[in-house]
Amino acid sequence: MATAKRRAQGKEAGGPQKKKKGLAKVSTGIAGLDLVLGGGLPAGRVTLLSGGPGSGKSMIGLQCLIHGAGDGQPGILVMFEERAAAVRQNAWSWGWDLARLEKKNKVHLMDARLDPESVISGEFSIKGLLAILDQRIKAMGAKLILIDAADALLHLYDNPMRERRELYALHEWLLDRKLTAIMTVKTVPQGEAPSRYAFMDFMADCVIHVDQRVTAQITTRRLRVIKYRGSGYGRNEYPFIIDESGINIIPITSNVLQHRPPGPKVSSGQAWLDDVLAGGYKCGTSILIAGTAGAGKTTLACLFSRAACLRGERVLYLNFEESAESMVSNMLSPGLALQPLIKTGTLAVRSYLPEAMGIEEHLFHAMKDLDEFQPQHVVVDAISACKRMGSEQAAFEYLMRILNVCKERGITCIYINQTSGLDIVAEISGIGVSSIIDTILLLRHHPVGGAVVRQLIVMKSRGSKHSEQFHEFRITDRGMDLVKT
């Protein structure tokens, strides 16, 4: 897995959540999570990871354990519900070789399921388990411990007072051994009776809650840090995905605006449009191209992309409307040969079906594309299609995150928005992003006499002069030509 890369990425977006002195932290191996936690889990303390079934809590714990094993922090996994063989198999499907780590004494799996046939008569304690663990800790020099499904252990006790007492004893035991501990606990969905383990939230030094919810038929996973004693942390809910490399928390842009100032002006790809924009687009700014279907939005964006590519700059084109092949073939009509640019590696077209996944997965892919391709300019075609990622809110979040990342990295961001009616002025803003857009170009079909002509107007261009006229243009086989009137 690309841990190193993700770690580097985490550092880059570090911002105000720098590691604080005093409280030692242990990296989780999940870059986005380290960022949320301001460096990692509290070393030598107990972290509670709660969530419903299938929320991914055990997986997060396992990834921390495996990362630790490779990072000089041998760990023990105590399982109260799963069989060791099943855990090994699950880990293997994520490319983690637990058996090898066990052989190297970096990880120990402890099957702590009680025989269901056991008879209970009178009081008892978990001293046996602790004695076994003590022996293992000494033998392998364990620093981490993951107690999976700690709630299952407590079900043994029929008395809430004793449950609590035993848990406090376990907590003390963990602290005494200076273990960095993660306990996963099942929670009931919100709205039902409060969890009988609510007191655990008070006991642990760090509490993380994960859940899985379905909105508009698209499932999203989210993570929230509820508390973290002695440390700052990201206080929002953060979407995360589980993919072939494990847990990926969408890198959070820092909570202050660290946008870079706009760069020099570059050509829009058409000389007359550069005149209209008093020199072209500013590098590193955001540009919205809005207009009705067929008004020439994609052509305008591709003109710019081609001009940039020919200058040797890289352009990432995120297409939610058509495949790369169909876009390349369609752009031949206005005389734009994109295939050579793709071949030379200056243009990358990535097509995604908006409804195929939730926004966090879309974001993850976009971030991966941004990191791998390192473009100077990004085109999103079209933001109107992003609504299909779930909801208008989801689309807004997606676009805002992309925009923030682009602004932080000084990447020019071109959003295309398709408006439906002819009264497009009311519609152009699209999903409420217009206030943070630097330049807005509006394309429309305008009836003149018995015909319809194409017109372009610059609605806004922050920090720059621009024409305030409607300009009539035609799409020819050489791009977009100004019609002189």
Partner 1 sequence: MTKAGKREKRKYGKPGGKTYVFRLFVAGNESNSAQARVNLARICEEHIKGRYKIDAVDVLKDATAAHKNNVLVTPTLILIKPLPKVAVLGNLNDTRQVLAALRLTGDER
**What residues line the site for partner 1 (CB under 8 A)?**
111-112, 114-115, 117-129, 131-132, 134-135, 156
Least distance in angstroms from the C-beta of 174 to partner 1: 16
Measured from the CB atom, is 121 or 485 closer to partner 1?
121
Least distance in angstroms from the C-beta of 148 to partner 1: 14
Structure tokens at 481: 């030509």
Least distance in angstroms from the C-beta of 62 to partner 1: 21
Q: Please give the helix or strand (H or E) that residue 418 lies within, else none.
A: strand 412-418
Residues 141-177, buried b or exposed e (16+ Cβ, 10 A)?
Answer: ebbbbbbbbbbbbbeebeeeeebbebbeebbebbeeb
Measured from the CB atom, is 131 or 356 closer to partner 1?
131
Q: From residue 400, how far is each of 10, 262, 348, 351, 413 by CA, in Å?
A: 19, 18, 21, 19, 11
Beta pairing, strands 286-291 & 412-418: parallel
Measured from the CB atom, is 111 or 392 closer to partner 1?
111
Least distance in angstroms from the C-beta of 133 to partner 1: 8
Measured from the CB atom, is 141 or 189 closer to partner 1?
141
Cα separation, 469 vs 344, in Å, equals 38
The answer to whether the beta carbons of residues 324 and 348 sit under 8 Å apart is no
Structure tokens at 429: 């803003």
Measured from the CB atom, is 86 or 257 closer to partner 1?
86
DSSP 390: S
Cα separation, 237 vs 322, in Å, equals 32
Task: Look at residue 431 and give its three-state secondary structure.
Answer: coil
Cα separation, 57 vs 277, in Å, equals 52
Task: Show Cβ contacts of residue 377 under 8 Å, excluding neighbours closer than 6 positions.
Answer: 304, 305, 308, 313, 314, 315, 316, 411, 412, 413, 414
DSSP string, 34-77: HHHTTTSEETTSEEEEEE-TTSSHHHHHHHHHHHHHTTT--EEE
Least distance in angstroms from the C-beta of 432 to partner 1: 56
Least distance in angstroms from the C-beta of 115 to partner 1: 6
Least distance in angstroms from the C-beta of 139 to partner 1: 10
Instruction: Output phi, psi for 352, to 5 deg.
Output: -130, 145
Measured from the CB atom, is 117 or 468 closer to partner 1?
117
Task: Look at residue 310 and give its three-state secondary structure.
Answer: helix
Measured from the CB atom, is 59 or 142 closer to partner 1?
142
Least distance in angstroms from the C-beta of 153 to partner 1: 8
Measured from the CB atom, is 160 or 463 closer to partner 1?
160
Cα separation, 11 vs 291, in Å, equals 39
Least distance in angstroms from the C-beta of 7 to partner 1: 37
Taking the mean position of all CA atoms in its chain, how far away is CA 115? 42
Measured from the CB atom, is 115 or 477 closer to partner 1?
115
Taking the mean position of all CA atoms in its chain, how far away is CA 399? 12
Measured from the CB atom, is 160 or 340 closer to partner 1?
160
Cα separation, 156 vs 145, in Å, equals 21
Least distance in angstroms from the C-beta of 152 to partner 1: 11
